[in-house]
Amino acid sequence: NWRAERVPPMATEPFAPFAQELMPWLNYGFGVTWQDVGDIIRDRLLPVLRTSAELRAWGSTALEGESAEQQVRALVDALVDTVEGGDSELMVGSSAAESYSNRRGNRLGILAAVLVEHEWQVDLVLTRPWNERTKRLTVPTLDAFPAALLRARLGDEEVWVDMREERRGVNHINPLFQNADGLVLPLSDPRQAVSIIDRLPSFPNPDLVEEVTVRAEVRPSGDARISFRMPLRGGQAEQLLERVDSVPSDQIEMIYRQMAVSLFPGADEVSGEIERGESGATIHLELTAPRACEHESGELVCRSLVLSNPLVPVLASLPERRYPLVLRVPIERRLQLDLVAPDGWRAVTR
């Protein structure tokens, strides 16, 4: 029996890492290898690959295209349209045939079963967030790699699938798992040994690129009339739309004003709209920013139009922080500023 003694309580801080990342780890083992761990997991997963005549007929129809990637995309499109997402993308307690018959859950299992049936080389890759790469590998455990991906090969072509991303998950995996390590479980031939993959591939991540367009018509007083546009994709777009849809229509203007003030302090005369599209949503704000530009030595200096907002939210500010700050930030930010100077003035750069 193990017992923790004299362990001080952990103070909570906003935007701190998960508690398990802050506490010391104690790993212990009894001669178990990663092959042992992989075999245990794979033995549980092999029944998931059980198909049926109905599933085989559907898979043969859905798996179409000239290249391997096109075939997998067609199959994933049909899968998302046909089978609801369940509690997990991979359900050990349900076969692919059962899940397809119920039209719910186990999408990754169904996908793997169809590809194995059609003689693809299929590997289940268990992984974890990239910042945990190479940690705690000395003592193999069943819960070391909690997330499941699929790697499929047809001839010389290789396709990765992350069903959490649904249609976007074909030859793309969530940025959280890119460049991470993982445990590879061959499914097409269970006699093959399991292995550790040192680094998963990386893919372009357009959802983590911020594109902001600002048009500012500056007045001689320093005030500016501003048109602001910013496309959002993925989770950010979903959160924005959920927030807007959750308030009465007569309160939406208040949300636009909150957005405007967070970008341009003191913003006034605010109006806005949200354009919805297949790839996400676009925020469009019209506002007046008082003192957007300040008179200095015969010049108008427009510092507030650079949009160099602090990355740390107000809620994360503390007199003293003990733990690291964890924030999701864009990997790239593109700002296009169209500055219209007042009559008789011209724009210069410093």
154-204 pLDDT tens trace: 999 999 999 999 999 999 999 889 999 999 999 999 999 999 999 999 998
CB atoms < 10 A from the CB of 95, how many? 22
* Sequence-ordered list of residues with C-beta below 8 angstroms from that of 184, at least 6 positions apart, any chain: 123, 124, 125, 151, 194, 195, 196, 197
* b/e 148-160 (16+ beta carbons within 10 angstroms → b): bbbbbebeeeebb
Please, where are the H alpha helices in the chain? 19-22, 34-45, 53-62, 68-82, 96-102, 107-117, 234-245, 252-263
Higher pLDDT: 283 or 93? It is: 283
pLDDT of residue 147: 93
Higher pLDDT: 332 or 162? It is: 162
209-218 and 332-340: which strand pairing? Answer: parallel
pLDDT(135) > 50: yes
User: pLDDT > 70: what percent of the chain?
Assistant: 89
Looking at residue 274, its amino acid is I
From residue 142, alpha-carbon distances to 38, 147, 177, 180 in Å are: 8, 12, 18, 17
pLDDT of residue 142: 86
Average pLDDT over residues 290-313: 77
Q: For residues 233 and 278, what is the distance between their CA atoms, to the nearest angstrom?
A: 9
Between 161-175, 257-271, 289-303, 324-338, the lowest mean confidence (pLDDT) is in 324-338
Of 157, 211, 153, which is closest to residue 184 (Cα–Cα)? Answer: 153
Using an 8 Å Cβ cutoff, are 228 and 214 in contact? yes
pLDDT band at residue 15 under the 50/70/90 scheme: low
203-254 pLDDT tens trace: 988 777 778 899 999 999 999 999 999 888 766 777 788 888 888 988 889 9
pLDDT(310) > 50: no
User: pLDDT > 90: what percent of the chain?
Assistant: 53
Q: Give the orientation angle of helix 68-82 with respect to helix 107-117, to 10 degrees.
A: 140
Of 14, 26, 25, 24, which is closest to residue 323 (Cα–Cα)? Answer: 14
pTM beyond 0.95: the answer is: no
Strand, coil or helix: 228: strand
